[in-house]
Amino acid sequence: MQFKAAKKTAALALILLLVGCAPKPQPLGPTPSPTEKPLQKVTILLDWFPNTNHTGIYVAKEKGYYKQQGLDVEIIQPGENSNVDQIVASGKADFGISAQESVTQARVGGIPLVSIAAIIQHNTSAFASLKTAGINTAKDFEGKRYGGWGSPVEEAVIKGIMEKSNADFSKVKNVTIGTTDFFTTIGKESDFQWIFYGWDGIEAKRRGLELNTIMLADLDPIFDYYTPILITNEQHISEQKPLVKNFMKATADGYKFAISQPTEAADILSKAAPELNPELINASQQWVSSQYQDEALIWGLQYSEVWRRYAQWMADQKLIDHMIEPENAFTNEFVK
């Protein structure tokens, strides 16, 4: 009897030992590698609501290009009174969308912003009017109402191109309409406005609305400046160079994809911004995709002459109180 009891006790001990050595159940799903680095959180502040100027950014996020570079990028829309330049300069956003004239004015004021890429190679903005208004040249601005944002730059540009055409700027009535929708004000509150052709111009075509458009880049080389551009601050460039490099690598890949695959890129933007008309996004994307890089050797490239030419014009027009050093306002370091 004692032998049998001892045998049972030994068997029970063996079972418990085996159970204790058995592998423990593992949780479902992949287990992160202990050596895998967490993604670095990054913010980019848009200049306006999502549109095809921004497609490459949304592509880079959707396709995982940012993640491949170790980044977790948050795309932020600006508030009603947000100043993108100041927010990026202060480091409250890592990157932003701006324009050459804004960066020029910021640097004159000692704000350390730097343009790191031209999103679109040439200025695709235009003065637009209903065809029935009969505005075909700058001379035709005489006696018409211009609807704008109330910026001194607008008046200086219109005055400059009218004087070049021997037209009288004093005969233009300036009406401040702010950010009111182009299609609700054109032909009503104003006779001509300043638009981005790749959005409002394409939408007019989609609606069957006949416009006359005068592209700024065609009026004078001075006005073929960079708008929009990608910006960051000098501190990021000097102290967080790997971050800027990785961000730009992924962003460039996003725009290259949008250039070669405009239809799929449009679908990605539509998914990210379902409040927008997908037909407009697709039509706009087909046009804008050919404008991103245009004849430049690589996407995002900027030229010193473009920065110098427009800054000098701004200085001549007293829009800035001194000339900047153009080479400090932009860099091509991160688009190579």
Q: Which domains does the chain have, with CATH numbers?
A: 40-122+226-329 (3.40.190.10), 125-223 (3.40.190.10)
pTM listed for this prediction: 0.88
- Band of pLDDT at residue 35, cut at 50, 70 and 90: low
Judged against a pLDDT cut of 50, whether residue 27 lies above it is answered with no
Q: pLDDT tens-digit profile of 82-109?
A: 899 999 999 999 999 999 999 999 999 9
- In angstroms, the CA 286 to CA 75 distance is 23
- Band of pLDDT at residue 25, cut at 50, 70 and 90: very low
- In angstroms, the CA 336 to CA 328 distance is 18
Task: Write the DSSP string, 16-67.
Answer: HHHHHHSPPPPPSSPPPPTTPPPPEEEEEE-SSSS-TTSHHHHHHHHTTHHH
Q: pLDDT tens-digit profile of 166-222?
A: 999 999 999 999 878 999 999 999 999 999 999 999 999 999 999 999 999 999 999
Lowest mean pLDDT among 26-40, 145-159, 293-307: 26-40
25: cis peptide before it, omega within 30°?
Answer: no
